[in-house]
A and B are shown apart, each in its own frame.
Chain A
């Protein structure tokens, strides 16, 4: 945040570049054929390939969830055996977390949007980016192999010594997730370097879109925490395959050590899942309120604070696991601390809506749903952070409901909001606004029907991961299952109108929402190199009180494909003349 007085300045001639409407040539048709897609280093295409992959895994995980809920319609066996049920809930968790939630926003939406928001032509290491995608694919192949060669019934947490002694393809599965981790690490690394080095002239740290602050914080967690998961899973595999005793007491190991290692990654991992969602929420609420974001620094720094404190709270998964009372106390306290920056964000977003010009388009509807559901997820997190109450609620459906309110009510709603928000930019097509709103409503109703009863039965003592249950919980389970079907209908509608939009959708203009953010100042869909000029930024991305013309400035680029980037704090006094 150096001021211009302190930095040596250089005058640059900028002019206004109006984005080309309905371009003939864009990134989707400039290179053609399957080979061009598979070998592309274009971040947008890689983003779309990730998007297709995560959509596929969301479908698989979702179908598994519906199977689980169907089995739970009756207290005893309904249509699957206990063994199959255990495999299905393991896969639902593992697939949704490792193959959908973690890559959904950073790798799919992030890849597409990050360079556009920076005014860059690509990420810093485009080939590495493609490599990340293929590592993800290889990890996925290993996992699918594991599913078809014996399955896995350990739960997505792989707790020892159960996971070191049970049958099935545990080693293959953990290997898949081990490989997948590298995809996550490389993407994080790529994003950090890109944000540091490829910002367009004028994008100082206080003009960085909040989406990028979110991705930046996420990337930090990805590169710092994922290696711990990798080594943990490697140790687990060594124990299973080579019989080296690390976690299994029968071999002289300590099973609680595994839990410490696992949650040291997996707690920060829930922030890998939710923090980029916060970024999307900030973008969308500001755009559809047509108003400058309230508390820019509070939101940006709270993401970093969450990323940091998030590393220090893993022990709250183990309040009943036999750790010392002192450890429990410290972890409980830190858990409450991490709640504060999250609460601050909610208030900031509300304050942004205050006196705004609110347009309830589909992305904004998803943000309202997000605010409601995520608030419930947050408060129930406070409940679980309270030590004496957690002793009662730990490993019951209350935890399941809390997790789904945060992850599905929070993260998935943010993802859906982001998908609808950036859809016109990705494909240059609009979707059917009517059906989009209908399905958002159906998903909202279905979601609450599914998970509200789970809070109640969890409080009453219904343990999680139960194939059979005692009769008193049946009404709650049945209500929950019906809710899941309702939600399923909502997602089918989304798939239908998005497919329709791809094939027959109305053409989208370059900036259908009237946003000031940089990704909207190029054509829809963008050119292969994003911008045909080097954008120059003089205002913050949420400065709705300034005219649109000030957000479309740039320097003409030579045709070698790579614009050079000026140091921060350059003098843009010239632009004042430009307006006149």
Chain B
């Protein structure tokens, strides 16, 4: 049974994953037994009762109460077991322990933002401590997204008009992928993030030093890191190829045609405005879909990104 779940399921890295996997295996094995039985019956009947002549006479069997009750009641009992098992597991998944460590998650088309209690914000990387329940309080700034970590067996829709939450307790330090599983437009399949599970000590250290590591970099180097970390590169390439937004390559100093028909010269102020108020001026040929980074990036970081874009001729 373990080899079956190893093949079918991703590694189980949260405290509740085991419970889900056990039910998954139970349903698979029970179904397989039934399926084999039914298939054998189909094949055996087709062979054993193959038509011998056009005048074959078949017995008149209209019904059989005992048999019919049996094959109604046994599946009924089985599905009630599955129902109860699934419901218990579900209640565990939706009831976070009181002492959970809380992180705010904001879904935007097409990135994930994580706000920690210290005020630090990370984009595209969720840092969590191991062996400690973590509760994510989530909302969206635009359309519906869905936050899914396969390794933890958790998923919850992220809505624009209300908060939803999920919780997990990671069991192993390491990385796990985060997917968006509610279709949200062109870069839906790129709306990924990485969950990085630290040991509790490492997590404390990370949280204290997060952000300060950037001080030793030149502005352009910092800008390069920030564009990746903040998922800018999900939509803006650095090699000239066209994704959901205009490429950064050769952008600075160019004359950009706008949807309104005007043109604008791409300078520091235009880039700054596009980061903080993306809908103000829309580049011709692109959808007004970029989320605002106001509150996510500070002045120093915006400067660094501008410096970085300048280097991309």
Contact = CB atoms under 8 A, between A and B. Distances in A.
Nearest to A90: B183
B66 interface: no
A456 B7 CA distance: 8
Contact of B67 (A86, A351, A375, A395): A351
B258 interface: no
Given A322-B164, A463-B179, A344 B83 contact: no
Interface string B53-84: 01011111111100110011001100110110
Contact of A386 (B23, B75, B93, B182): B23
Contacts of A23: none
Contact of A292 (B20, B60, B94, B179): B60
Interface stretch (A115-123, A161-169, A175-183, A570-578): A161-169
Interface in A363-383: 368, 371-372, 375-376, 379-380, 382-383
Contacts of A387: 86-87, 89-90
B189 A155 contact: no
Contact of A350 (B9, B10, B41, B68): B41
From B7, B187, B188, name the one whose CB has the most chain A CB atoms within 10 angstroms. Answer: B188
Contacts of A83: 186
A356 B45 contact: yes
Nearest to A291: B58
A344 B73 CA distance: 10
B38 A353 contact: no
A336 B72 CA distance: 12
B148 interface: yes
Given A165-B143, A354-B45, A357-B56, A336 B80 contact: yes
A389 B24 contact: yes
Contacts of B85: 386, 388
A249 interface: yes
A350 B189 contact: no
A290 B188 CA distance: 53
A391 B155 CA distance: 6
A256 interface: yes
Contact of A394 (B38, B57, B86, B155): B155
B186 A459 contact: no
Contacts of A391: 20, 90, 93, 153-155
A545 B94 contact: no
B1 interface: no
A461 B148 contact: yes
A358 B19 CA distance: 45
Nearest to B39: A372
A55 interface: no
Contact of B94 (A296, A325, A356): A325
A42 interface: no
Among the interface residues A339, A383, A386, which one has the most CB atoms of the partner chain B within 10 A? A386
Given A249-B160, A355-B59, A468 B183 contact: no
Contacts of B94: 325
A31 interface: no
A467 B244 CA distance: 13
Contacts of B200: none
B90 A466 contact: no
Most A C-beta atoms less than 10 A away, residue of B28, B144, B164 = B144
B91 interface: yes
Nearest to B45: A353
B79 A336 contact: yes
B196 to A, nearest CB: 17
A460 B79 CA distance: 24
Given A336-B83, A344-B68, A292 B51 contact: no
B58 A290 contact: yes
Contacts of B162: 322
Contact of A353 (B8, B31, B46): B46
A385 interface: yes
A383 to B, nearest CB: 5
Contacts of B144: 159, 161-162, 255
A294 B62 contact: yes
A440 B19 CA distance: 41
A23 to B, nearest CB: 24
A382 B177 contact: no
A295 interface: yes
Nearest to B61: A294
A346 interface: yes
Given A389-B20, A459-B9, A545 B57 contact: yes
A386 B82 contact: yes
B210 interface: no
A83 B235 CA distance: 13
A63 B88 CA distance: 43
B187 to A, nearest CB: 7
B87 A340 contact: no
Contact of A155 (B7, B10, B92, B183): B183
Given A382-B31, A387-B90, A388-B23, A353 B161 contact: no
B62 A292 contact: yes
B63 A371 contact: no
B207 interface: no
A243 interface: no
B238 interface: no
A329 B87 CA distance: 7
A465 B49 contact: no
B49 A356 contact: yes
A293 to B, nearest CB: 8
Interface in B148-192: 148, 150-151, 153-157, 159-162, 164, 177, 179-190, 192
A392 B155 contact: yes
Nearest to A544: B58
A395 to B, nearest CB: 4
Contact of B51 (A249, A290, A382, A459): A290
A357 to B, nearest CB: 3
A287 B180 CA distance: 49
B51 A322 contact: no
B61 A388 contact: no
B185 A461 contact: no
A472 to B, nearest CB: 9
B142 interface: yes
A545 B35 CA distance: 32
A289 B59 CA distance: 11
Contacts of A469: 189
Given A254-B161, A461-B10, A372 B42 contact: yes
Nearest to B243: A82
Contacts of A395: 146, 148, 155, 181-182
Contact of A255 (B45, B159, B181, B287): B159
Contacts of B79: 336-337, 339-340, 382, 385
Nearest to A399: B181
A383 B50 contact: no
Nearest to B153: A392
Contacts of B49: 289, 353-358
B34 interface: yes
B27 A386 contact: yes
A358 B157 contact: no
Contact of A332 (B72, B87, B150, B190): B87
A570 B146 CA distance: 62
A298 B148 contact: no
Contacts of B27: 379, 382-383, 386, 389
Nearest to A298: B68
Contacts of A372: 35, 38-39, 42
6 smallest beta-carbon distances between A and B, as pairs: A388-B89, A461-B150, A386-B86, A249-B161, A357-B56, A387-B90
13 contacts: A153-B186, A166-B185, A319-B90, A320-B156, A325-B94, A353-B46, A355-B61, A356-B49, A360-B50, A368-B46, A380-B31, A385-B79, A387-B86
Given A290-B51, A321-B157, 6 more contacts: A329-B87, A379-B31, A383-B28, A388-B16, A389-B24, A391-B93
